[in-house]
Amino acid sequence: MSHKSVALVTGGSRGIGRAISEKLAELGWDVAVNYVRRADAAEEVVTQVEAAGGSAIAVQGDVSKETDRTGLLEQTLEKFGRIDLLVNNAGIGSPHREDLLKLTAEDWDLVFDTNLKGPFFLSQMAANKMIEFIGAQGIDQGKIINVSSISSYAASTNRAEYCMAKAAMSMMTHVLALRLADEKIQVFEISPGMTETDMTARVSEKYGSLIADGLVPIRRWGQPEDIALAVEAIVSGKFPFSTGQRFDVDGGFHIRSF
């Protein structure tokens, strides 16, 4: 069993997930870096983690598939012998960004399976393993961090399935936090705002203009490193009397104002 704390980061090969994986390595964690297609990108992150003095593996898997979720956890435990942190970061946007009156069941299922069903059942499996390790005195406590979105409360009629899945992830954070508090597992939600990644590249011009015009009080794009810093704050142990908390990393977008 690894003597270091161990994290499984889904969608850890690019964007926000990559920044989180590399930040955890800087903090001395061992990391399982999940990817779906880009093995080369995942291996780049593994190299960065190892350069920071940590140990890492790239684990392929689609969180929307039960067999893949099982494989992610099994490979993490096979390599490191423990799991202290699950970061549910993997997700997809609306495939077609169509008006909700044209939304198809296929797009709905794809988004909900990836952005909600997958994270929930992976959390279920990880929590049960954490409970085993905590009971055996292998680890002191566990943590689950769900990466949601400002779209959990800011509605978009051409991304209805994405907004609803992220809104449900917020409730998922609450129910997991409530159930797992007695098990010494804390659950948190990080809600990123408009963050500069390949996922937002196609709307960068539109939202860049809106941000400059004051849509976000702190007038800049969020960066993946901003979310990674929030993860650092959570895993540092500075919030021992908190669970179910949402951390808004959105430049102040959530503030209602006239």
Q: What stretches of the chain adopt beta strand conformation (E)? A: 6-9, 30-35, 56-60, 85-88, 142-147, 185-192, 246-249
Tokens 């203009």 -> residue: 209
* 228 SS3 class: helix
* 220 SS3 class: coil
Report the greatest alpha carbon distance in the chain.
Answer: 55
The string over 28-37, giving b where at least 16 C-beta atoms fall within 10 Å of a residue's C-beta and e elsewhere, is ebbbbbbbbe
Determine the Cα–Cα distance for residues 64 and 149; give it in Å rounded to an integer: 19
Question: Catalytic: 153?
Answer: no
Closest-CA residue to 21 (of 222, 187, 244, 227): 227
Tokens 């929930």 -> residue: 120
Residues 163/103, Cβ–Cβ less than 8 Å: no
Catalytic residue among 35, 153, 162, 207: 162
The string over 237-255, giving b where at least 16 C-beta atoms fall within 10 Å of a residue's C-beta and e elsewhere, is eeeeeebbebbbbbbebbe
Alpha-helix residue ranges (DSSP H) falling in 136-195? 160-180
Residues 45/12, Cβ–Cβ less than 8 Å: yes
Hey, which residues are catalytic here?
Answer: 162
